[in-house]
C-alpha cells in the first residue's frame, strides 16, 4: 500500500492515507514522498481531506469507521488496491508477476534490478525496501515491463479474489507453494486453487517460470496454452542452480541452461532459496527484455543474447537477514521470515555463514497464521535449528480461543526436550528487557537473530542500538 501510494504521487496524484501504528522503514518512505498520513481511521479525516477516490486496503474490514462512512455516505467511489494497481499502474504494460509463499519481495527486487542494469528502465512495485534500487517503487518508461510481487492474499473485504489476479501476468514466476494464510484459506488445496486461477490468465504469448523442485507446484495443471520454464536444482529443470555452496565469505553457484553453463554467481545473499530467487529473476529479465524488444526469446540458450545480471553487487532487501550489529564476537540481524519453512531455511543458512557462533533465535508470533496452532509443530522443528530460542508475546492473542491459539508453553517444552535452551515471554517488551540485561561479552561468539513480519514492538532496534 505504501509503495503504491508513492507511485501514484509520482504520477502527479495527490495522496494521503490512514493507518494505525505505521513503523519504519515504511513510515520514513511515506514522509520523504510528502504523503500525509492520518493516524487511526477517524471518518473526520475523509471529511476534511475530501478525496476523489478511496483505495481500500485488505487490512481493514466492516466496522472500520472510514469504511462504514464510505458505504453509508456513497459520495466517494472506492476500489481495492490490487484493482487500482492493475488498472492505473500496470495497464497495458507487460507485467512480470512474482508469486509464491516465500521470496516474493526479494525476487521482485532482483528482477527489477536485473532489468535496470540491462537499461530497460522498468516500472516496479516492491513490498519492502530494496537495497539495490533507488526506491521500492518506480514508474519506469510507459511501455517498459512492470515488475510486481503477486500476493495470494485476498484483495479487500469486498473482493475475496487473490491480489495477483488483478495483475494479469505476461511473465509469471511461481517460486514455491505451501499452505499459509489460514485466516482466508482452508487448506493447501484451497491455496492451490487460487494459483490455478492465476495460471489460467497467462496469455498464449506469455511465460510461466516454475520451481521444478516443488512437489506442490508439480501438482498444478499443465499450462499447455503458454510457454513453461522449470527452474531448480534437479536434473529435469530447464535452468539449474548447480554446485551451490555457502560459507563465511558468502554463497556461490552456477547457472546451467539445459546442460549449457551460462554463468557463475558469487554474492552475499544467504541460502539456496535466494539462489533460486536469483535464477528466477535472471530468467524473467531475459524474457522481459525480449518482450520489450518485440522479439521472440531464443530458448535454445536465452542467455546468449542478454547474459547474466551482475547479482554480485546485490545486497537484497531491508529486513531480510539484515545485519544490524557485526562484531567478531557478536552479530545481530533482523529477518522478515514468519513461515516455518522460511525460518528453517534462514537458520540453516546462518549456521553456514557463522559456524563458530552460538545461534539465538528470537521469534514474534505475529502473522494471522503464526499466532494460531496451525503450524505449531512446524515452527517448533524450524526453531530447533537454533541453539537457543526466545519467543515473544503472541500478537493480538485475545482474538483467538485458547484451542486455536499457538501454545507457546508446549513449544518451549518440546524445544527443551530437544536439548535447546528455550523461554517464552508474556510481552515483547519483557523479551527485550531480558536481552538488554544480558552480558553477551561473557557468552563467547553469539549470533542473535530476530524473526518477525512486524516491528517486534521496537525491541529489535532497542537491542541493536544498545549493542553497537
Q: What is the CATH number of the domain that holds 108?
A: 3.40.1190.10
In this structure, are 303 and 330 located in the same domain?
Answer: no
In this structure, are 106 and 38 located in the same domain?
Answer: no
In this structure, are 62 and 151 located in the same domain?
Answer: no
Residue 162 and residue 153 in contact, taking contact as beta carbons nearer than 8 Å:
yes
β-pairing verdict for 446-451 and 421-424? unpaired
In this structure, are 309 and 327 located in the same domain?
Answer: no
Q: What is the pLDDT of residue 331?
A: 95
Is 84 a member of any domain? no
Residue of 410 and 127 predicted with greater confidence: 410
The residue among 76, 111, 134 that closes a domain is 76
Examine the pLDDT at 416 and tell me if it is beyond 80: yes
Examine the pLDDT at 118 and tell me if it is beyond 80: yes
In this structure, are 121 and 23 located in the same domain?
Answer: no
Confidence band for 337, pLDDT divided at 50, 70 and 90: confident
Is 382 a member of any domain? yes
Confidence band for 179, pLDDT divided at 50, 70 and 90: confident
In this structure, are 188 and 295 located in the same domain?
Answer: yes
Is 82 a member of any domain? no
Q: What is the pLDDT of residue 251?
A: 95
In this structure, are 278 and 148 located in the same domain?
Answer: yes
User: Which whole number is the average pLDDT over 66-81?
Assistant: 95
d(CA 240, CA 260) in angstroms, rounded, equals 10
Q: What is the pLDDT of residue 436?
A: 95
d(CA 369, CA 376) in angstroms, rounded, equals 10
Q: What is the mean pLDDT of the chain?
A: 93
If 0-12 CB within 10 Å is exposed, 13-18 middle and 19+ buried, where does residue 78 land?
middle
Q: Which domain CATH number covers 23?
A: 3.40.50.720
Residue 263 and residue 307 in contact, taking contact as beta carbons nearer than 8 Å:
yes
In this structure, are 208 and 283 located in the same domain?
Answer: yes
In this structure, are 205 and 230 located in the same domain?
Answer: yes
Instruction: For residue 418, give its domain range.
Output: 322-467
Q: What is the pLDDT of residue 128?
A: 82
Cell output for 113: 534490478
User: Which whole number is the average pLDDT over 248-256?
Assistant: 95
Is 83 a member of any domain? no
Confidence band for 50, pLDDT divided at 50, 70 and 90: confident
d(CA 251, CA 466) in angstroms, rounded, equals 30
In this structure, are 246 and 332 located in the same domain?
Answer: no
In this structure, are 115 and 198 located in the same domain?
Answer: yes
Overall domain count for the chain: 3
Residue 110 CA, chain-centre distance (Å), reads 12
pTM above 0.95, yes or no: no
In this structure, are 245 and 366 located in the same domain?
Answer: no
Amino acid at each position: 500500500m505504501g509503495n503504491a501510494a508513492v507511485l501514484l504521487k509520482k504520477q502527479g496524484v495527490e495522496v494521503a492515507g490512514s493507518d494505525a501504528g505505521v513503523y519504519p522503514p515504511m513510515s520514513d518512505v511515506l514522509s520523504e514522498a510528502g504523503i500525509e498520513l492520518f493516524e487511526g481511521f477517524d471518518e473526520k479525516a475523509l471529511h476534511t481531506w475530501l478525496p476523489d477516490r478511496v483505495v481500500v486496503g485488505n487490512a481493514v474490514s466492516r466496522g472500520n469507521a472510514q469504511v462504514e462512512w464510505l458505504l453509508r455516505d456513497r459520495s466517494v467511489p472506492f476500489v481495492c488496491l490490487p484493482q487500482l494497481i492493475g488498472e492505473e499502474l500496470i495497464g497495458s504494460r507487460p507485467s512480470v508477476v512474482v508469486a509464491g509463499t516465500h521470496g516474493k519481495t526479494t525476487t521482485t527486487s532482483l528482477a527489477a534490478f536485473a532489468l535496470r542494469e540491462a537499461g530497460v528502465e522498468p516500472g516496479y512495485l516492491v513490498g519492502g525496501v530494496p537495497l539495490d534500487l533507488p526506491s521500492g517503487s518506480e514508474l519506469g518508461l510507459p511501455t517498459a515491463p512492470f515488475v510486481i510481487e503477486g500476493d495470494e492474499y485476498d484483495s479487500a473485504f469486498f473482493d475475496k479474489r487473490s491480489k495477483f489476479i488483478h495483475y494479469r501476468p505476461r511473465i509469471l514466476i511461481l517460486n514455491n507453494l505451501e499452505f499459509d494464510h489460514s485466516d482466508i484459506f482452508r487448506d493447501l488445496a484451497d491455496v492451490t486453487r487460487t494459483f490455478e486461477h492465476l495460471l489460467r490468465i497467462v496469455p498464449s504469448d506469455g511465460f510461466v517460470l516454475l520451481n521444478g523442485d516443488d512437489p506442490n507446484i508439480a501438482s498444478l495443471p499443465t499450462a499447455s496454452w503458454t510457454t513453461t520454464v522449470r527452474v531448480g536444482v534437479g536434473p529435469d529443470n530447464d535452468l539449474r542452480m548447480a554446485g551451490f555452496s555457502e560459507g563465511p565469505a558468502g554463497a556461490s553457484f552456477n547457472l546451467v541452461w539445459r546442460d549449457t553453463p551460462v554463468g557463475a554467481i558469487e554474492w552475499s545473499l544467504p541460502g539456496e532459496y535466494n539462489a533460486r530467487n536469483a535464477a528466477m529473476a535472471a530468467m524473467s529479465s531475459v524474457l522481459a527484455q525480449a518482450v520489450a524488444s518485440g522479439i521472440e526469446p531464443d530458448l535454445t540458450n536465452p542467455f546468449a543474447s542478454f547474459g547474466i545480471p551482475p547479482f554480485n553487487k546485490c545486497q537484497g532487501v531491508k529486513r531480510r537477514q539484515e545485519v544490524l550489529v557485526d562484531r567478531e564476537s557478536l552479530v545481530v540481524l533482523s529477518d522478515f521470515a514468519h513461515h516455518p519453512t522460511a525460518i528453517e531455511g534462514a537458520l540453516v543458512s546462518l549456521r553456514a555463514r557463522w559456524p563458530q557462533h552460538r545461534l539465538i533465535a528470537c521469534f514474534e508470533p505475529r502473522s494471522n497464521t503464526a499466532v494460531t496452532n496451525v503450524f505449531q509443530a512446524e515452527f517448533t522443528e524450524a526453531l530447533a535449528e537454533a541453539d537457543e530460542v526466545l519467543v515473544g508475546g503472541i500478537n493480538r492473542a485475545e482474538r483467538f480461543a485458547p484451542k486455536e491459539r499457538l501454545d507457546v508453553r508446549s513449544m518451549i517444552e518440546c524445544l527443551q526436550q530437544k536439548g535447546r535452551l528455550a523461554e517464552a515471554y508474556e510481552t515483547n517488551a519483557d523479551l527485550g528487557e531480558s536481552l538488554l540485561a544480558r552480558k553477551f561479552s561473557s557468552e563467547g561468539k553469539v549470533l542473535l537473530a530476530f524473526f518477525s513480519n512486524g516491528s517486534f514492538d521496537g525491541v529489535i532496534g532497542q537491542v541493536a542500538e544498545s549493542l553497537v
